Amino acid sequence: MSDDLVISECFARDGLQNEPDFLATQTKVDLLDRFSAIGFPRVEATSYSNPKAVPQFADATEVLRGMTRREGAFYKATCANLRAVERANADHDAGRGANEISLLASASEAHSQKNLRSSKAEQWQRIADMAKAAGGRYRIIGSLSVVFGCPFETYVDPGVVAEDCARFLDLGVRHVSLGDTTGLATPQSVKSLWRRLETELPDLTLIAHFHDSRGSGLANCVAALEAGCCWFDSSIGGVGGHPSKIKYGGGFTGNVATEDLVNLFEAMGVDTGLDLDALMTTVEFCEKVLGRPLYGRTARTGLSPLIKEKTYA
Amino acid sequence: MSDDLVISECFARDGLQNEPDFLATQTKVDLLDRFSAIGFPRVEATSYSNPKAVPQFADATEVLRGMTRREGAFYKATCANLRAVERANADHDAGRGANEISLLASASEAHSQKNLRSSKAEQWQRIADMAKAAGGRYRIIGSLSVVFGCPFETYVDPGVVAEDCARFLDLGVRHVSLGDTTGLATPQSVKSLWRRLETELPDLTLIAHFHDSRGSGLANCVAALEAGCCWFDSSIGGVGGHPSKIKYGGGFTGNVATEDLVNLFEAMGVDTGLDLDALMTTVEFCEKVLGRPLYGRTARTGLSPLIKEKTYA
């Protein structure tokens, strides 16, 4: 399992998305270079959002141009609409773009309406248009929200999630991130869904994208790991979630903290393939960049001494 | 399983132990009355520590005298030495004492020396003396520290833990709390130890007492639950840990947050038997009492809406 573990560092996109102050482009580049040096096989680099809607990512092109790339790693840019894919294509075709993009859908109708301002049917038409426009340039990630429960509709039928995943697959999208957008997943619902989707859609690679809104993010990651999941999204310091403009009834919505996830997996004997010392100094750097202590416990306490002694069961 | 779940609220003792400011006795009584009203079957009420060493608990007798008791519930006082047991006995025999006490040991020699200022051998002699002095008045909890790893010795042999548990049992102590003092347990080491002890010492009731020092507390509670554990220690707001005077290399050392534990278990369909609305208002009360936001995520976000809809798998 260890050779296959793929942790994606989401700090620079999902993490920064909520930050009110624009972070200097060079700082973003420094962050991404550190993430590459740590050895992350996937990095969320930026978003081709409308700069008027999300000024933080107005420098998407410059960030992708400025950063150093590690061979074999994937650098993702989020694409919210067709215009975003066209911008991604221009940067890609100029030789300095992303090599991974994500296309967003919601598992519930209400969340699609509120978050994407379109019905699910409309959004799936857009996704088809975007996938076509991408023209085989990228590894495309289907990013599905509210998979384990919706703040507006509460229960989300796993059968609907399976249909949405099948739609992605029909469009040639072979990687789907299953988003627990407001922290409603449980170890049971995670294992149950993983097993169902691996049976029904064996060609799909599933990505655990769990928010820690109710403190259960890491427990759900362990459940996913036990169900065979090897792909995880997390963010240094546990920052991120959703743009503050979109209200889900408030509350804490950060991602699983990378340092806590990596500490636990390594303590379990699961090799993450990452440079742990470089990770911990980068955690400090991220806190310095945002000017405040973040949410990771391991940032305060340090890595488990059991990791170096390899004494796990 | 649901009928048997026993969650102990540790805020008033383990939680307050690190608070530098003395909390008014009446406030402590108000807290304990709220914990009783929520329905906790066990409550850590206070500690018979030396008032000079831990001024926070100088009012142990008054707190126990002032609080309302729920029938069938256990109210614990921590006893660090023989003098503490004698004080507990005096209050008990006057009809207003604790009906549960805890006696502390460390699984590692180095932690025993640093935390208890005595060798393990010396401490076990003291425990024997204390258990004898208790004279059958209480349900005694054996409280074992650094069970899953030690900040000074790193690896702790599960065989040594099993020996320590057997010593408790030999002294008539049938409940042992397995403390992950600095957050070094993993779901694997938890399950492995639970299975071993349930096989070797089937008469013992095991209590999961996990600190969230590295963010893995809830994941480890789920592992314990899956291994058959029904007894859990947690603290509202995730406060607590160890007296700040004893340095373990610093870091975050709080308990698992009760609101996050209860939210996840209830979302999994595990009935905690607690009044969830009363719990959430008491979480607010605890934050008001300490004058700061605490560490529970659910305090910020609210209980999962899936709990009321009973839609868990």
ipTM score for this prediction: 0.95
Contact present, B132 and B174 (Cβ < 8 Å): no
User: What's the mean pLDDT in A9-33?
Assistant: 95
Q: Do B217 and A260 contact (CB within 8 A), yes or no?
A: no
End-to-end CA, chain B: 16
* Element (DSSP H or E) covering residue A165: helix A158-170
- Contact pairs from chain A to chain B, CB under 8 Å: 153
Position B137 scores a pLDDT of 98
What would the 3-class secondary structure string for chain B be?
Answer: CHHHCEEEECHHHHHHHHCCCCCCHHHHHHHHHHHHHHCCCEEEEEECCCCCCCHHHCCHHHHHHHCCCCCCCEEEEEECCHHHHHHHHHHHHCCCCCCEEEEEEECCHHHHHHHHCCCHHHHHHHHHHHHHHHCCCCEEEEEEECCCCECCCECCCHHHHHHHHHHHHHCCCCEEEEEECCCCCCHHHHHHHHHHHHHHCCCCEEEEEEECCCCCHHHHHHHHHHCCCCEEEEEHHHCCCCCCCCCCCCCCCCECEHHHHHHHHHHCCCCCCCCHHHHHHHHHHHHHHHCCCCCCCHHHHCCCHHHHHCCCC
Query: Which residues on chain B are in Cβ contact (under 8 Å) with A189?
Result: 312-313
If one counts every other C-beta atom within 10 angstroms of the C-beta of residue A3, the result is: 7
Q: How far apart are CA A115 and CA A111, in angstroms?
A: 6
Of B187, B260, B306, the CB nearest to A154: B306
Q: Is residue A276 within 8 Å of residue A307, measured between CB atoms?
A: yes
Measured CA to CA, the distance from residue A199 to residue B188 in angstroms comes to 26
Name the residue facing B186 among A219, A253, A267 (closest C-beta): A267
Give the SS3 label for residue A67: coil
> Smallest CA–CA separation between B15 and chain A, in Å?
17
Average pLDDT score over residue span A271-292: 97
Average pLDDT over residues A35-45: 98
Phi then psi for residue A223, to 5 deg, are -60, -45
Enumerate residues 61 to 120 of chain A having a beta carbon within 8 A of any beta carbon in chain B: none
pLDDT computed for residue A247 by the predictor? 52
* Residues of A (141-170) whose Cβ lies below 8 Å from B: 149, 151, 154-155
Lowest mean per-residue pLDDT among A245-249, B140-144, B255-259: A245-249
B269 close to B312: Cβ distance less than 8 angstroms: yes
Answer yes or no: do B268 and A223 touch at CB < 8 A: no
Query: What is the average pLDDT across A21-40?
Result: 98
Number of domains in chain B: 1
Whether pLDDT at B145 is above 90: yes
Q: What is the mean pLDDT of residues B130-140?
A: 98
User: If we measure between CA atoms, which residue out of B121, B58, B111 comes closest to residue B84?
Assistant: B58
- 8 Å CB contact of B297 and A260: no
Query: Of the candidates B213, B260, B313, which has its C-beta nearest A215's C-beta?
Result: B260
Nearest CB to A297 within list B188, B214, B311: B214
Residues 6+ apart with CB under 8 A from A82: A126, A129, A130, A133
Domain that holds residue B217: 2-309
Confirm or reject contact between B268 and chain A (CB < 8 A).
Answer: yes
Record: contact A184-B249, CB cut-off 8 A: no
Picking from A156, A180, A216 by the largest number of B CB atoms within 10 A of its own CB, the best residue to mutate is A216
Query: Residue A218 is inside which H or E element, if any?
Result: helix A217-226
Task: Indicate if the pLDDT at residue B1 is higher than 50.
Answer: no
Q: How many CB atoms lie within 10 A of CB B230?
A: 18
pLDDT value, residue B311: 55
Cβ-nearest to A313 among B189, B219, B263: B189
List residues bridging with A154 in a β-sheet.
A150
Chain A residues in contact with B312 (beta carbon < 8 A): 186, 188-189
Output the domain CATH number for residue A188.
3.20.20.70
pLDDT of A137-179, one tens digit each?
A: 999 999 999 999 999 999 999 999 999 999 999 999 999 999 9
Q: What's phi and psi for B59, nearest 5 deg?
A: -100, 25
Concatenated DSSP letters of A237-306: GG---S-TTS-SS----PBPBHHHHHHHHHHTT------HHHHHHHHHHHHHHHTS--S-SHHHH-S-HH
Contact B85, B133 (CB under 8 A): yes
CA B59 to chain CA centroid, nearest Å: 20
Residues 183-222 (B) with a CB less than 8 A from some CB of A: 183-184, 186-189, 192, 212-216, 218-219, 221-222
> What residues of chain B lie within 8 A of the CB of A218, using their CB?
215-216, 218-219
The structure tokens 């270079």 sit at A33
Q: Are the CB atoms for A133 and A85 separated by under 8 Å?
A: yes
The C-alpha atoms of residue A39 and residue A5 are separated, in whole angstroms, by 12
Mean per-residue pLDDT for B205-230? 97
